[in-house]
Amino acid sequence: TAVMAPILLNCMGNDQNEYIKQQVQVKNPYLDTMEEDILYHFNLSTKTHNLPEMFGDIKFVCVGGSSNRMKAFAQFIHQELKLPGNPEEIKDICEGTDRYCMYKVGPVLSISHGMGVPSISIMLHELIKLLHHAHCHDVVLFRLGTSGGVGLAPGTVVITDKAVDYSFCPRFEQVVLGKVITRSTELDEGVASELLQCSSELQNFPAVIGNTMCTHDFYEGQGRLDGALCSFSHGEKMEYLRRAYEAGVRNIEMESTVFAAMCRVCGLKAAVICVTLLNRFEGDQIASPHDVLLEYQQRPQILVSHFIKKRLGNIV
Amino acid sequence: TAVMAPILLNCMGNDQNEYIKQQVQVKNPYLDTMEEDILYHFNLSTKTHNLPEMFGDIKFVCVGGSSNRMKAFAQFIHQELKLPGNPEEIKDICEGTDRYCMYKVGPVLSISHGMGVPSISIMLHELIKLLHHAHCHDVVLFRLGTSGGVGLAPGTVVITDKAVDYSFCPRFEQVVLGKVITRSTELDEGVASELLQCSSELQNFPAVIGNTMCTHDFYEGQGRLDGALCSFSHGEKMEYLRRAYEAGVRNIEMESTVFAAMCRVCGLKAAVICVTLLNRFEGDQIASPHDVLLEYQQRPQILVSHFIKKRLGNIV
């Protein structure tokens, strides 16, 4: 096969580099037959916007739940990459809709996705179509989030090994036309270890690699005793968290399984980086002072910024 | 039992009216033992805010996905109820967080809930706790949304009879500590017929009562051919929609089952009113002009406003 490779490359055209580029793979045979594709929740369309011109140079996509946080990240990465212009004047590309916000900073796209699997899944469908229409290649996706920690000190950053469901399995159940299908939720191991290496290069930066449990609600599904509904005891809660810990779960959030599953199907390298706001073995309420929580939330941003700068050669 | 009733009432205290008030029932024995309850995603707390004073007079809670739309509804109902003050100056009670927005207009609370079951479920847990802490009673909840229509002309308002899942069953599956439990999703029949009566009193107001299917994603789960992933044919899509129609489904959205289930468990009368933005038998993309979509989105607001004014005696 080593002998065959150059011949194959030549068959694909003169530009050998073009061939090895990792394209974004939409898995929909109908898409390229459509005259127009309206990305409804972004308020963008292939007819009204020149997507290759607007987004063709994107190499890193960073997503997170809160719109304020993703705007702050865009301004932060603007400063970190020492790009020209005023970071305060960054414009929301999706300003015609309030479903998501989107900021472009050089090769970095920063997008909010709201809370929960359905909300991030709508965003991911339209993002993957956007990257496809814009002919992007070699893109890495990061989810930068907040989470509940399982046996970790608050403020610890968890780089996700496997995204697991409520029974600690690395799978995502998707309903397609009334039938349940299962997708794998494995993430890119290389990106995860590269992120762990980055964390060791930062000072006083507590980070671990562990499994991340993704639930479909914040209260009963995560074993909280402080929701409007609670039918279990403190002991039963602790037992469930203990079993999660034994299965390698180090944090709990609400989007990682579908994020991992969709990126995997579409050939996108992806990582999940969430800071823990509390240790769930010690409580349910997020009671830390505002400024402490704000500092915690900057940690995934600092880590991903370091990763991006290294990849771009800004750090030797 | 007719003879027993007065005796029972007397046992409850002097104020007979107090007894027949419909209280909000949180189903959590731990809640009233907590020293403080932080409603994290509202940025409110029982210690820092006087919830009975702020919210005690609430009688109608209107929720919807989009924050802009729920702000517009707050301004609209302010005018409709002819309340003093400038509707433009309405303040977001949750302005310290970007997870949800919340506006209070006399006895009406208007709150955004984002997209999908997990996002509205977090909001509902904290809303039901808020109503409980504020000692609210006789509250009616409305979800005002947008949806895909099934065999209806775009712009038709669907008042939900039953909220059903992807297999057209009126149930919501909730994971509690790793186990799946099932909750009923029946809504209040009385409120639904009262809303249909209201719609007949408005001019040129197309409205029907029908079942609403709630899915966990917008593309594959709703049978769209225009997502980043699509593994089925046009014929299979049409067949699924036909089966939905035969099961009484008239529209598809992403929040109704958990909304119905949680309101039912907590003794809250609730209704779901969604306008259809397109007829899914005819397509998948939401391609109507912006001003047409905007007018459609006002229809659930006009209907619920009429209901509220009638209940308050503003309309004879």
SS (H, E, C) A193-255: HHHHHHHHHCCCCCEEEEEEEECCCCCHHHCCCCCCECCCCHHHHHHHHHHHHHCCEEEEECC
Distance from CA of B110 to the nearest CA of A (A): 16
The pLDDT assigned to B11 comes to 36
B234, with CB counted inside 10 A (0-12, 13-18, 19+), is: exposed
CB atoms within 10 A of CB A195: 24
Contacts of A118 in chain B (CB under 8 A): 115-119, 215-218, 254
The pLDDT assigned to B111 comes to 98
Q: Does position B283 have pLDDT exceeding 90, yes or no?
A: yes
Contacts of B128 in chain A (CB under 8 A): 228
The residue ranking higher by pLDDT, A5 or B238, is: B238
Q: Which of B95, B91, B144 is nearest to B120 (CA)?
A: B144
Residue B299 assigned as binding residue = no
The pLDDT assigned to B243 comes to 98
pLDDT in tens, B108-138: 999 999 999 999 999 999 999 999 999 999 9
The Cα-based distances of A72 to A62, A87, A88, A105, B198 in angstroms read 12, 9, 9, 12, 46
CATH of span B31-312: 3.40.50.1580
Distance from CA of B115 to the nearest CA of A (A): 5
A71, A62 Cβ separation under 8 angstroms: no
Distance from CA of B5 to the nearest CA of A (A): 30
Contacts of B243 in chain A (CB under 8 A): 178
Q: What tokens were used for A6?
A: 């150059």
Mutate to test the interface with B, among A41, A45, A46, A98 (most CBs of B within 10 A): A98
How high is the mean pLDDT of chain B? Answer: 93
Interchain pair A228, B132: CB under 8 A? yes
Q: Which residue is associated with the tokens 């024995």?
A: B29
The pLDDT assigned to B21 comes to 80
Distance from C-alpha of A39 to C-alpha of A51, rounded to nearest angstrom? 11
The Cα-based distances of A86 to A75, A83, A105, A315, B119 in angstroms read 9, 9, 11, 23, 34
Distance from C-alpha of B88 to C-alpha of A210, rounded to nearest angstrom? 48
Beta bridge partners of A124: none
Q: Which residue is associated with the tokens 């599904």?
A: A221
**Predicted model pTM:** 0.93
Q: Does position B107 have pLDDT exceeding 70, yes or no?
A: yes
Sign of CA dihedral A65, A69, A75, A78: negative
Interchain pair B176, A232: CB under 8 A? yes
pLDDT in tens, B31-78: 999 999 999 999 999 999 999 999 999 999 999 999 999 999 999 999
Distance from CA of A48 to the nearest CA of B (A): 12
Considering only A18-27, B82-91, B150-159, which range has the smallest mean pLDDT? A18-27
Distance from C-alpha of A216 to C-alpha of B120, rounded to nearest angstrom? 11
The pLDDT assigned to A14 comes to 43
Distance from C-alpha of B172 to C-alpha of A216, rounded to nearest angstrom? 12
Q: Does position B6 have pLDDT exceeding 80, yes or no?
A: no
Contacts of B220 in chain A (CB under 8 A): 174-177
Interchain pair A229, B40: CB under 8 A? no
The Cα-based distances of B15 to B9, B57, B239, B282 in angstroms read 8, 18, 58, 57
- Under the banding of pLDDT at 50, 70 and 90, the label for residue B20 is low
Residue A222 assigned as binding residue = yes
Q: What tokens were used for A60?
A: 């890193």
Distance from C-alpha of B26 to C-alpha of A230, rounded to nearest angstrom? 9
The pLDDT assigned to B15 comes to 46
Interchain pair B230, A119: CB under 8 A? no
- Under the banding of pLDDT at 50, 70 and 90, the label for residue B316 is low
Write out residues in chain A with pLDDT < 50, as ranges.
Answer: 1-18
Please give the average per-residue pLDDT across B15-25, as a whole number.
67
CB atoms within 10 A of CB B169: 14
Q: Which residue of A has its CA nearest to B116?
A: A118
Please give the average per-residue pLDDT across B162-177, as a whole number.
98
Beta strand pairing status for B38-39 and B44-45? antiparallel
ipTM of the complex: 0.93
B92, with CB counted inside 10 A (0-12, 13-18, 19+), is: middle
Residue B241 assigned as binding residue = no
